[in-house]
A and B are shown apart, each in its own frame.
Chain A
Amino acid sequence: MTLYLFYFLSFLAVLSALMVVVSKNPVHSVLYLIMTFFAIAGHYVLLNAQFLAAVHVIVYAGAIMVLFLYVIMMLNLNADTEPQKGKWLRVAATVAGGILMVVLVGALRSAADTLPVTAHDNQIGMIKNLGKVLYKDFMLPFEISSILFLVAMVGAVMLGKKEIK
């Protein structure tokens, strides 16, 4: 049952990730990206990490993608108003993307030989255990990363502020 769910979610994630790139309308791309995030959240649930899944949905699907959607809907992007890239650029992009894919495939081929990671504790994704790990073992990195967020927030406010004369 879990295996079928895994295949279904993976198929959904890959398909919608492809559709993000392929679809012509940017709004459709964003909606497909939201679908990808949901499929990944489903993977987290399969790994028994419900907290991570919920936070993933709140942060990515709920907040970041809504802002994306917001901006793209406001921009009114159309094929005739946007500057179109030349033909040689498309060829170059395809070649570059293909090379990157070759590198990735080459890198990930060896990953198949390594042992699958088995969590030593399958309750680690539960919120209580996760909180203990975050606030005991990784206290300093956790706090530093929250300061990073604060800095980003202050920076955004500074950029958004009107010029003081």
Chain B
Amino acid sequence: MFSLQSISSQIHEWLYGHLPPAFALLSEFFIVGMLMIGLFAFLGLVLVFMERKVSAYMQIRLGPNRVGPKGIFQTLADTLKLIFKEGLRPKNSDKFLFNFAPYLVMMVAMLLMAPIPFARNVQIWDVNIGVLYISAISSISVIGILMAGWSSNNKYSLLGAMRSGAQIVSYELSAGLAILSIVILTGSLRISDIVASQQTGWWIFKGHIPALISFVIFIIAVTAETNRAPFDLAEAESELTAGFHTEYSGMQFALFFLAEYVNIFIVTAIGATLFLGGWMPFHIGGWESFNHIMDYIPSSLWFFGKTFFLIFVIMWFRWTFPRLRIDQLLNLEWKYLLPIGLFNLLLMTIIAILGWHF
């Protein structure tokens, strides 16, 4: 049976059998780094293409269909074009910060990849504070956005960065509370424990209505945190041209664009891990043969299937809802989502203490 775990352990054994331990460790670092960069490039290409096709489908168009069969090489051609473009920099911008900001945003996205379980026992770093690490690192990305907006020396960029900052800082709370409710149910912050606790069923089914509420809050909050429509005030095209990355061109713009899509992948992967069981197959208690068939589907397929389903949901949001106004956006967070989230957390604690979940 195909599984990522056996491949990785084979490579691990081969390396340690043929190389001194220090070199073997270094070459493993190298392999993991290369795989991450490869995954980034792949995700960028696939998700941009997926977004264009989904939007085309929702608007009854065909979407890209010229380059390659069904237009699947369209994003590759676009990337090539962006690589060959000249990177311009505004005259009075802050040179270092302007050039550094896209890399900071990318670095944050790369760091977030570390605790994500891609398949059974395939995880770069199973840190014991797992979900806390995720919320700590993801709170840094706003610094990169503020840096980009301020250093461009452009009022549209600055306004876009300010809006983005306000939005991310406020919606982080709701996302954190939603994550916390699952941590209460599991009793552990470690990602592998959270996945293992869903052996008998995913939390969204086992945790009754509070889990469902926190799932909905989580999806709304991460849509806002990744600055996507209907919360894309940070780059509202009709008001701010392109928000914080107005002045960027060429590959630097491409890095921001790539970071946006990679961030969508990361937050949906976290959502799939916490609420939909990560790589855990769909099990129904008591149905032994059914569970057995489900186990034959590789765990990596389960993980990517759930993640891409959530990505599709977030794209669905983008192409069906109109954009919110800034005051509506902040009201939604502070007056509705946050109180509901706090109350939900309390309810979840009661359920966890009394053991009412399955």
Contacts and interface: CB of A to CB of B under 8 A. Distances in A.
B173 to A, nearest CB: 10
Interface residues of B, number: 26
B128 interface: yes
A50 B128 contact: yes
A66 B142 CA distance: 8
Interface stretch (B66-74, B143-151, B322-330): B143-151
Interface in B126-167: 127-129, 132-133, 135-137, 139-140, 142-143, 146-147, 149-150, 158, 161-162, 165-166
Contact of A34 (B128, B143, B189): B143
A34 B147 CA distance: 12
A127 B143 contact: no
Given A66-B165, A73-B150, A54 B140 contact: no
A122 to B, nearest CB: 14
A127 B189 contact: yes
A27 B150 contact: yes
22 contacts: A27-B150, A50-B127, A50-B133, A51-B132, A54-B136, A57-B136, A58-B135, A58-B136, A58-B139, A62-B140, A62-B142, A63-B139, A66-B139, A66-B143, A69-B165, A70-B146, A73-B146, A73-B150, A73-B161, A74-B162, A126-B128, A127-B129
Interface of A: 25, 27, 31, 34, 50-51, 53-55, 57-58, 61-63, 65-67, 69-70, 73-74, 126-127
B139 A73 contact: no
Nearest to B146: A69
A72 to B, nearest CB: 9
Interface of B is mostly: helix
Given A27-B97, A69-B143, 14 more contacts: A31-B97, A51-B129, A54-B129, A57-B136, A58-B136, A62-B142, A66-B139, A66-B143, A69-B165, A70-B146, A70-B166, A73-B146, A73-B158, A74-B162
Given A63-B139, A73-B158, A73-B162, A54 B146 contact: no
Contacts of B146: 66, 69-70, 73
Contacts of A63: 139, 169
Contacts of A57: 136-137, 139-140
Contacts of B169: 63, 66-67
A57 B137 CA distance: 8
A61 B150 CA distance: 18
Contacts of A50: 127-129, 133
B255 to A, nearest CB: 19
Contact of B143 (A51, A55, A65): A65
Contacts of B142: 62, 66
Interface in B157-210: 158, 161-162, 165-166, 169, 172, 189
B126 to A, nearest CB: 12
B139 A62 contact: yes
B140 A61 contact: yes
Nearest to A65: B143
Nearest to A126: B128
B143 A54 contact: no
Nearest to B96: A28
Contacts of B172: 62
Contacts of A69: 143, 146, 165
Contacts of B129: 50-51, 54, 127
Contacts of B139: 57-58, 61-63, 66
